[in-house]
Amino acid sequence: MQKNNNFRLRSQQWFDDPSHADMTALYVERYMNQGLTREELQSGRPIIGIAQTGSDLTPCNRHHVQLAQRIKEGIRDAGGIPMEFPVHPIAEQTRRPTAALDRNLAYLGLVEILHGYPLDGVVLTTGCDKTTPACLMAAATTDLPSIVLSGGPMLDGHHKGELIGSGTVIWSSRKLLATGKIDYEGFMEMTTAASPSIGHCNTMGTALSMNALAEALGMSLPGCASIPAPYRERGQMAYATGKRICELVLNDIRPSHIMTKEAFHNAIAVASALGASTNCPPHLIAIARHMGIDLSLDDWQEVGEDIPLIVNCMPAGKHLGEGFHRAGGVPAVLHELQKSGYLHDQCETVNGKTIGEIAAKNPTHNADVIYPCTTPLKHRAGFIVLSGNFFDSAIMKMSVVGEAFKKTYLSEPGAENSFKARAIVFEGPEDYHARIEDPELNIDERCILVIRGAGTVGYPGSAEVVNMDPPSKLMKKGVTSLPCLGDGRQSGTSASPSILNMSPESAVGGGIALLQTNDILLVDLNKRSINLQIDDAELEKRRQEWTPNIPASQTPWQELYRQLVGQLSTGGCLEPATLHLKVISKDNPP
Ligand code: FES
Ligand code: MG
C-alpha cells in the first residue's frame, strides 16, 4: 500500500528518531520482546492499536478477544503492525452502582493511551451500551485515525415459540411476576432465554442503537452494526476493518473529517427511524462536545422529532437483531431516509464512500422490518424535548407511546395530548422499592410516578430507573403502566413512555427536588411542557427550605466524577474534559 502523503508516521517519533538514539533504542528493544524485528518497527509501517473492550467482566463484548485475531490479520495484510490493549471494562448489567459512571472513566483512560503511546491509528471495539460512546468520545478528543468495529447483537431470543428480546423481556415479565402469573423459576427461564449467544443485547436498546449511530456517523464500515456476533460475517468485518484502518492512517483520514455537524444530524435522523434508545441523546451530545461541535437537545428536537419510525424492532416494534440485519441493517435505513430527503448525502465515511453513496445502493430486503418513510410504523417518532416551570429539559421517546397510553392519558375531550396527574415522589430506586406497595400513597391510574436522586451527581453516573411499575394492586386490575418522570435514565430496552433525563437533577438543586407527593402536574405534549400546579410563592418557599442531600461517595472515582460531571442534557460529560484540546497534533507532542 502506498502512502498518499509524504508524512512521517506518528509512531516514528518513538521508533525511528536517530537524533534521540537512546530513547529510540529503549522503545524499540522493549517492543521487540514480543518477537517483532527491528526492521518491522523501523520500516515506517503504521502501528495500529486495537482498543479491547472485551473481557470476562464485560460479557457483551467478550468475543472481541477472539475477533481481535481477525482484526490483526487484516492489519498485517495491509502492512500494519497491530498492538492490542485493554480499555477499562464497562458492563451495563453488572456494574454497580451504574455502568454510566464508567463511560467517562473509560474515555479518559483511552485518551491517555492514544496520546501517550506510539499509535498511528486505532480500531475501537464496541458493543455493550457505554463502550461505544466511550470509544467515540476518545476518538473525538484525540482525532487519531479511528474506525469502529461493533461486536454485534446476540442471536434472536425465543421462548415457547415467541421472539423475546434481551432487556425488554425483563420489563414485560416482571409484570407477570408481580401479578403472580409466573413464579421465580418461570421468570428466570423466560428472561434468560432472551440471550442465547455471545453478543450484545439483541433488541434496539442502547447497544444496538449506539452501534447503529456509529455507523450512521460514518465511523464503521457499512453494515457493521447489525451483523449478529456469531455470524461468519462478523469475523469478515473484523478483517476488513483491520485492513481499512491502515488505509485511513496512510491517507491521514481523521475523525474530524467524518464526525461533522451534518454527520451528527444524520445520526439523529437514524435514531428516530430506529426507535433508538433514550440513552442516545446524552451519548451523541457527549461525542459531539468532545469533537468541538455544538450539538444540543435543540438539534434532537429540530432534526429528530419529525422523522418517522421505520424500523420494526423491539422495544418499539417486534423484530430483533437478526431480522434487522437480514433486512439490510443501517444502510437500508439510510436508503429509506435518503429517498425522503432526510439525509445529508455528502458526509464522508471511513470506507471512503459518502453516506449518500452507501444509502443509494442498499434498499431493504424485508419491508416488514424496515419500512418506507412514506408509510412508516409511526409518523413523527423522534424524541420530544420538554421543559417547564420547575426544570429546563427532559426527553420523551414518542416511538414507544402506545395506543393504550394515548387513550388513557392523551385523549380527554378538549385537552388532547395533555393530562393532569397527581405526583407520587420517590427518593431514588431503593425508596421506590420500599414504598411502592404502601396503601397510604393511594396510587390510582391518574397518578404520575416521580423518581429523583437518580441523575449524574445524585446516583453517580445516573441510574436507569425511571420506568417504574405501578403497585401490584393496580397491575392486577389491568393497569400495567403509569406515566413516569425522573432525573434518571431508563434502559434503552424499555418500551415505557417515561419522561426522563430531567435536568437539572435534584442533587444539584433542580426543581424536581421541590416536588411533593400529591402535587398536580400538567403535562402538555403539544406545548412540550410540564408545569407544576402551585403558585410561584409556594415554589419559592420550597426552594428556600431545600437543602442538598448527596449521598457519600463510595470510591475516589465517584467523588471526582461528582465534582466534575455535568447534566444529562449536555451529555453527562466531565466538564473540564470538554475543552477542545488538539490532543494529537504537531503543537502537542506526546
Ligand atoms: Fe450489554 Fe445490553 S447489557 S449490551
Ligand atoms: Mg442499560
Q: Which of 129, 168, 210, 277 to mutate to test the pocket of ligand 1 (most atoms within 8 A of CB)?
A: 129
What is the atom index within ligand 1 of the atom nearest the CA of 59? Answer: 1
The distance from CA 372 to its chain's CA centroid, rounded to whole angstroms, is 25
Residue 141 pLDDT: 96
Contacts of 415 by beta carbon, 8 Å cutoff, 6+ apart: none
Contacts of 431 by beta carbon, 8 Å cutoff, 6+ apart: none
Angle between helices 206-217 and 280-291 (to 10 degrees): 40
Q: Which of 62, 92, 210, 313 to mutate to test the pocket of ligand 1 (most atoms within 8 A of CB)?
A: 92
The Cα 456–Cα 505 span in angstroms is 8
Angle between helices 206-217 and 261-274 (to 10 degrees): 140
Å from CA of 56 to ligand 2 middle: 19
Contacts of 109 by beta carbon, 8 Å cutoff, 6+ apart: 87, 88
The pLDDT of residue 209 is above 90: yes
Ligand nearest to the CA of 492: 2
Rounded-to-10 torsion of CA 209, 215, 221, 224: 10
The pLDDT of residue 151 is above 70: yes
Q: Per-residue pLDDT tens for 43-86?
A: 999 999 999 999 999 999 999 999 999 999 999 999 999 999 99
Q: Do 428 and 451 meet the contact criterion of CB atoms below 8 Å apart?
A: yes
What is the atom index within ligand 1 of the atom nearest the CA of 493? Answer: 2
Cβ 201 under 6 angstroms from ligand 1: yes
Cβ 129 under 6 angstroms from ligand 1: yes
Q: What angle do CA 498, 502, 506 make, to 5 degrees?
A: 125
Phi, psi dihedrals of residue 499, rounded to the nearest 5°: -105, 115
Q: For the chain, give the longest Cα–Cα distance.
A: 82
Å from CA of 127 to ligand 1 middle: 8
Phi, psi dihedrals of residue 383, rounded to the nearest 5°: -80, 145
Ligand nearest to the CA of 99: 2
Residue 484 pLDDT: 96
Residue 585 pLDDT: 74
Cβ 62 under 6 angstroms from ligand 1: no
What is the atom index within ligand 1 of the atom nearest the CA of 200? Answer: 4
Q: Do 221 and 239 meet the contact criterion of CB atoms below 8 Å apart?
A: no
Cβ 128 under 6 angstroms from ligand 1: yes
The pLDDT of residue 338 is above 60: yes
Å from CA of 100 to ligand 2 middle: 9
Picking from 50, 46, 41, the residue whose alpha carbon sits closest to that of residue 16 is: 41
C-alpha cell at 416: 388532547
Name the band, by pLDDT with cuts 50, 70 and 90, for residue 3. low
Catalogue the E-assigned strands of 242-356: none
Cβ 207 under 6 angstroms from ligand 1: yes
For the ranges 250-259, 379-388, 409-418, the lowest mean pLDDT is seen at 409-418
Q: Per-residue pLDDT tens for 235-249?
A: 999 999 999 999 999
Q: Whose CA is nearest to atom 2 of ligand 1?
A: 201
Residue 581 pLDDT: 67
Residue 262 pLDDT: 98
Handedness of CA 390, 391, 392, 394 (dihedral sign): negative
Q: Per-residue pLDDT tens for 554-563?
A: 999 999 999 9
Cβ 93 under 6 angstroms from ligand 1: yes
The pLDDT of residue 587 is above 70: no
The Cα 113–Cα 117 span in angstroms is 6
The Cα 57–Cα 113 span in angstroms is 21
The Cα 542–Cα 220 span in angstroms is 50
Q: Do 92 and 120 meet the contact criterion of CB atoms below 8 Å apart?
A: no
Higher-confidence position of 415 and 95 = 95
What is the atom index within ligand 1 of the atom nearest the CA of 61? Answer: 1
The pLDDT of residue 5 is above 90: no
Å from CA of 486 to ligand 2 middle: 16
Å from CA of 200 to ligand 1 middle: 5
Ligand nearest to the CA of 494: 2
Cβ 480 under 6 angstroms from ligand 1: no
The Cα 230–Cα 197 span in angstroms is 7
Share of residues in the chain with pLDDT > 90 (%): 88
Contacts of 520 by beta carbon, 8 Å cutoff, 6+ apart: 420, 421, 422, 423, 532, 533
Cβ 92 under 6 angstroms from ligand 1: yes
Q: Mean of the per-residue pLDDT values for the chain?
A: 95
Burial of 399 (0-12, 13-18, 19+ CB in 10 A): buried
The pLDDT of residue 4 is above 80: no
Å from CA of 494 to ligand 2 middle: 9
Residue 480 pLDDT: 87
Q: Which of 60, 210, 211 to mutate to test the pocket of ligand 1 (most atoms within 8 A of CB)?
A: 60
Secondary element (H or E) of residue 576: none
CA distances from 558 to 58, 329, 456 (A): 20, 38, 10
C-alpha cell at 326: 437480514
Ligand nearest to the CA of 199: 1
Mean pLDDT of 106-115: 97
